[in-house]
Amino acid sequence: MSGLDKKGGIDNTVAAVLDLERPLEFISEEKFREVAKLLEAVHEQPGVQQILDHVRPRLVKLRPGRKPNLQRLFYMPLEDLLVGETASPDNGMLPRHLPALVWRYIAQTGDAEALKQLDVALKRTGTGDHEAHRKIAKRLWPLASAVLVDLVASPGHAKGMLGREVGLIEELNETAALLQAADAIDALKQELPPPPIRSLSDEQMGSIRRTIVDNAKGDADLVYVMALIVMVRMAKRADFLESIMGMTLGLSGADKPLVYARLSRLVMTEVTDRARQLSATDKGNLVGLADNARNLVTGLVAAEKALKNDPRARHQLSEMRKTAEKTVTQVVDNAKGTVVAAISVGPDAPLESLIETENSILALRKCQTFAGHIGLDKAVTGALGGIVGEVRDKANKLFASIGHKGGHQPDRAEVEQEMYWAVRMTELAGNPDDADKIRRQGMKALA
Amino acid sequence: MKPTSLYLPSTFEERGTAAPFTTPMFALSRVRPDERQGLVLLLPSFGGTDGAYVVPWSAVQEIGGMSTHDRALHEEILAVKATSPDMMRAAAFKVAMTGLAGPAAAEAAKKAVDEDRKKIEETHILLILALLTSSGMTTQELMQTNPETDEWRVKTKAMLEKAAKEYGIEIDQIYHRIGELSQTLAPVGLAISRQEARLRQLLQGLGEFRQSISEWGEADLSEMADFAIYAAAVADLTLDMAGTMFRKLDTGVQDIGLVVREWPTQGPLAKHLASRLSWLLDGWQFIIELWRSLADQPVDEQRDGVGNLMRVLPLIPRNESADDDEDAKKRQELFQRKRLQAHIDWRTGKYDVELVSRIEQIKAKAVA
């Protein structure tokens, strides 16, 4: 097949994928695996990377048996940091197309014979033989690292290689450091639980420290990339940043704050994303607002602790704190208003209203878990206490009407319905013990 | 006696019936009768090990902060001695309809009760038509008549009288037997009439669960992957057994005339098979909905979810399966190798309104 034919065939494959009647996310698993294999085979063609990025969540989930290649082995130390963005994220994460560009450069300028030998060795391994792949990767990384060290040593040369992507020069330097530390990164990944990591034991933290100290030998760039690789796997990154930077990592007094500042950019990005998520939440969705406000506030508290010595970060965090306070105040006011109106109607309200009332109380309860961090604990507790009090009053009047001699006796089924509604409201806004007291009191009154 | 896991129950009755409590710690605990205590609760282990705690019924409310729904359900279960899946279903609906598990669960319970009643009525009609067909009578005319009219009742009675004479029994006996059989078969569905019903539909959900959790287990990198694959294997075994039971039951009630005629032997057999199916699938609907609720959640929550559902996975009792004890052995090995880390929030005795609310939503969907 001529090159032109081959290209035509590839174009047809891409066109066929793009023309699929149903989006790739929704085709059957069997078909998806087939399409994924085809795309993998032509992954260097224009447009294919975007398709792969688009279906990545499903690709990761179904993991079609992917044929190993040297490029994929080259990606191994970087894979935790890859993101779909095109511009510099400026926080240590790497746009996915950068390693592709770097790999092309390595393939063109690296030791062709050595790369060929590795390729032949790799082709002899089975698709699932990860141990054999790792062994070949460990031979590939030093080769790639040598090419990259030479490249970044000459900024003009490096910018020339990046061409239109010159804005990614810092990420290129980081990629070079990641390849230099590839063996240590691989060891760290082997030792750590899969992401997201909720917490690390003292022993695990000690082991991370030793790996960084032994392999970085005081090199700030290497310390940075190794700490970054662990931090990006953590569920609570700010907490990890604080712990790891409290340790001696073999850094000089001058380098330590610089590494800390570089790592903190990722923490700031995360908190900023959470603030953005909160701002984008539908204002009528009180539960969603409470969830996202909690997410932001917990992130803020951790970030403020970790970045207490960074005035610029402190200022940014303080602004975000104001946003959180404002949103939670609105949630409290709206929820209170909804519930107070609902109390006057009682259990006869339509189903949607009953659900909305419960969601309003749930939003308040969610806010209660973090309101203390933003000085709104009294407002939230007051709102919940007010609801419990009003419901209690209503229940007392109901029970009194049952025992009232001579007057109109309310319908038993209606009383039960009112009673259970009061129990439910009290449980949601208060606690099950107080709620159960109302239930028992009601049952006694009805007996 | 077969070699068995120390903790695996012998029979469905010993496994107990799943109680749809909404407090995380008690969610899908099982209830069974006990000679000394009357009732006991089998509380899934929260220490990350195999097995369950046996709690006397009177002590249940003391061991953790129960929601008011659970307190009411606890009382109702004792009042009606709900020790079978069908009785538990009725008790759970009665309590859910009060609204103590939220308006969505109340609405779902009301709808389910209504659906159950309609399904019995529908099965009743289908059984009458099947019986008449079995007696060689044509039901064409009946099919064109509204079953809620007197005309239908009169015509049916005349035809059933004819059938009763042929069988040598009283017409009242026919009505009685059809009545009982419709109660028995309503949750299962009548295959000869291609009638879908709750338990038969559950198999589809169970098949999807098996597929989904098995794929998740193969893709996940954490130690929960093995537990997920084990859960898929239990679902697989349950599906196999359910398939066999459905085939037996469908064959057994293929000729309704024969079942009604030979009621003393055929009636109990049909009841036994339908009851076994009910026991076999008891608890799965909640697990299927629990897993569905995690589909869009972050991976760490899905891992917690696998831990939670492992605690309440409806294992096949030793004496109920004709298979060897591979299932039991696998479980034993799994728990010996790995300590199951169920999410701490699900094990605490503290009342957590957010977790309870999540379980209430699952509960509402599980009966929808």
The predicted-structure confidence for A130-156, as pLDDT tens digits, reads as follows 899 999 999 999 999 999 999 999 999
Cα separation, B79 vs A94, in Å, equals 63
- Residue of chain B minimizing CA distance to A60: B219
* pLDDT above 70 (res A381): yes
Cα separation, A37 vs A45, in Å, equals 14
pLDDT, mean of residues A163-183: 96
Cα separation, B31 vs B83, in Å, equals 6
A435 closest CB neighbour out of B68, B218, B222: B68
- Residue of chain A minimizing CA distance to B61: A433
CA distance B329 to chain A (A): 27
* pLDDT above 50 (res A6): no
Cα separation, B312 vs B25, in Å, equals 11
Cα separation, A12 vs A7, in Å, equals 8
Asked if A354 is an interface residue toward chain B (Cβ–Cβ < 8 A), one would say: yes
Cβ distance of B71 and A428 shorter than 8 Å? no
Asked if B222 is an interface residue toward chain A (Cβ–Cβ < 8 A), one would say: yes
Asked if B349 is an interface residue toward chain A (Cβ–Cβ < 8 A), one would say: no
Asked if A350 is an interface residue toward chain B (Cβ–Cβ < 8 A), one would say: no
Contact A321, A300 (CB under 8 A): yes
- Residue of chain A minimizing CA distance to B69: A424
* pLDDT above 80 (res A164): yes
Q: Name the residue among A306, A174, A193 with its Cα closest to residue A245.
A: A306
Cα separation, A401 vs A413, in Å, equals 14
CA distance A226 to chain B (A): 21
Q: Please state, as a whole number, how many other Cβ atoms lie within 10 Å of the Cβ of residue B176.
A: 14
Is residue A310 very low, low, confident or very high in pLDDT (cuts 50, 70, 90)?
Answer: confident
What is the interface pTM, i.e. ipTM, of the complex? Answer: 0.89
pLDDT, mean of residues A382-393: 97
- Position B83 scores a pLDDT of 96
Cβ distance of A423 and B299 shorter than 8 Å? no
Asked if B66 is an interface residue toward chain A (Cβ–Cβ < 8 A), one would say: yes
Asked if B244 is an interface residue toward chain A (Cβ–Cβ < 8 A), one would say: no
Cβ distance of B354 and A432 shorter than 8 Å? no
Cis amide linkage into residue A89, ω under 30° from 0 = no
B131, B136, B137, B138: CA torsion to nearest 10: 100
Is residue A50 very low, low, confident or very high in pLDDT (cuts 50, 70, 90)?
Answer: confident
Cα separation, B33 vs B16, in Å, equals 8
Q: Name the residue among A439, A412, A177, A140 with its Cα closest to residue B99.
A: A439
- Position B322 scores a pLDDT of 67
Side chain identity, residue A130: H
Contact A294, A319 (CB under 8 A): no
DSSP at A82: E
Cβ distance of B220 and A358 shorter than 8 Å? no
Cβ distance of A196 and B71 shorter than 8 Å? no
B102 closest CB neighbour out of A61, A193, A358: A358
Q: Name the residue among A198, A232, A197, A226 with its Cα closest to residue A210.
A: A226
* pLDDT above 80 (res A225): yes
CA distance A306 to chain B (A): 24
Give a three-class secondary structure readout of chain B.
Answer: CCCCCCCCCCCHHHHCEECCCCCHHHCCCEEEEECCCEEEEEEECCCCCCCEEEEEHHHHHHCCCCCHHHHHHHHHHHHHCCCCHHHHHHHHHHHHCCCCCCHHHHHHHHHHHHHHHHHHHHHHHHHHHHHHHHCCCCCHHHHCCCCCCHHHHHHHHHHHHHHHHHHCCCHHHHHHHHHHHHHHHCCCCCHHHCCCCHHHHHHHHHHHHHHHHHHHHHHCCCCHHHHHHHHHHHHHHHHHHHHHHHHHHHHHCCCHHHHHHCHHHHHHHHHHHHHHHHHHCCCHHHHHHHHHHCCCCCHHHHHHHHHHHHHCCCCCCHHHCCCCCHHHHHHHHHHHHCCCCCCHHHHCCCCCHHHHHHHHHHHHHHHC
- Position B328 scores a pLDDT of 61
Q: Name the residue among A29, A50, A28 with its Cα closest to residue A39.
A: A50
Cβ distance of A63 and B103 shorter than 8 Å? no
Chain A residues within 8 A of B99 when measuring between CB atoms: 347, 354, 417, 420-421, 424
pLDDT, mean of residues A391-409: 84
Asked if B172 is an interface residue toward chain A (Cβ–Cβ < 8 A), one would say: no
- Position B367 scores a pLDDT of 82
The residue among B61, B68, B111 with the most chain A CBs within 10 A of its CB, best to mutate, is: B68
Cα separation, B47 vs A432, in Å, equals 25
The residue among A60, A61, A414, A426 with the most chain B CBs within 10 A of its CB, best to mutate, is: A61
Interface of B with A in 295-324 (CB under 8 A): 298-300
Cβ distance of B354 and A366 shorter than 8 Å? yes
The residue among A359, A420, A431 with the most chain B CBs within 10 A of its CB, best to mutate, is: A420
Asked if B96 is an interface residue toward chain A (Cβ–Cβ < 8 A), one would say: no
Is residue A42 very low, low, confident or very high in pLDDT (cuts 50, 70, 90)?
Answer: confident
Chain A residues within 8 A of B65 when measuring between CB atoms: 432-433
A63 closest CB neighbour out of B219, B300, B357: B219
Asked if A417 is an interface residue toward chain B (Cβ–Cβ < 8 A), one would say: yes
- pLDDT one digit per residue (tens) for chain B, 368 residues: 233 344 578 899 999 999 999 999 999 899 999 988 799 999 987 655 667 889 999 999 998 889 999 999 999 999 999 999 999 999 999 999 999 999 999 999 999 999 999 999 999 999 999 999 988 888 887 788 888 888 888 989 999 999 999 999 999 999 999 999 999 999 999 988 888 899 999 999 999 999 999 999 988 988 899 999 999 999 999 999 999 999 999 999 999 999 999 999 999 999 999 999 999 999 999 999 999 999 999 999 999 999 889 888 998 888 887 665 666 666 566 665 555 555 556 666 678 999 999 999 999 999 86
Output A29 or B303, whichever has higher pLDDT: B303
Cα separation, B191 vs B223, in Å, equals 42
Cβ distance of B67 and A62 shorter than 8 Å? no
DSSP at A89: -
Chain B residues within 8 A of A56 when measuring between CB atoms: none
Interface of B with A in 198-217 (CB under 8 A): 215-216
- In this predicted structure, which of A83-87, A371-375, B19-23, B337-341 has the lowest mean pLDDT? B337-341
Contact B157, B246 (CB under 8 A): no
How many interchain CB pairs under 8 A, A with B?
A: 67
Residues forming beta bridges with residue B39, ordered by sequence position = B33
Cα separation, A21 vs A13, in Å, equals 14
A355 closest CB neighbour out of B67, B104, B354: B104
Residues forming beta bridges with residue B206, ordered by sequence position = none
Cα separation, A360 vs A347, in Å, equals 15
- Position A406 scores a pLDDT of 65
Dihedral angle sign, alpha carbons of residues B234, B235, B236, B242: positive
Chain A residues within 8 A of B306 when measuring between CB atoms: none
Side chain identity, residue A98: L
CA distance B354 to chain A (A): 7
Residues forming beta bridges with residue B44, ordered by sequence position = B52
Asked if B353 is an interface residue toward chain A (Cβ–Cβ < 8 A), one would say: yes
The residue among A201, A233, A358 with the most chain B CBs within 10 A of its CB, best to mutate, is: A358
Cα separation, B355 vs B65, in Å, equals 13
Q: To the nearest whole number, what is the mean pLDDT of chain A? A: 90
Output A81 or B308, whichever has higher pLDDT: A81
**What are the phi and psi torsion angles at B42 (to 5°)?**
-100, 100
Task: Give percent of chain A above pLDDT 90.
Answer: 76
- Position A14 scores a pLDDT of 57
- In this predicted structure, which of A8-17, A25-34, B296-305 has the lowest mean pLDDT? A8-17
CA distance A135 to chain B (A): 20
Contact A308, A267 (CB under 8 A): no
- Residue of chain A minimizing CA distance to B343: A198
Asked if A150 is an interface residue toward chain B (Cβ–Cβ < 8 A), one would say: no
Alpha helices in A281-411 (DSSP H): 286-306, 311-345, 351-368, 377-403
Chain A residues within 8 A of B103 when measuring between CB atoms: 351, 354-355, 358
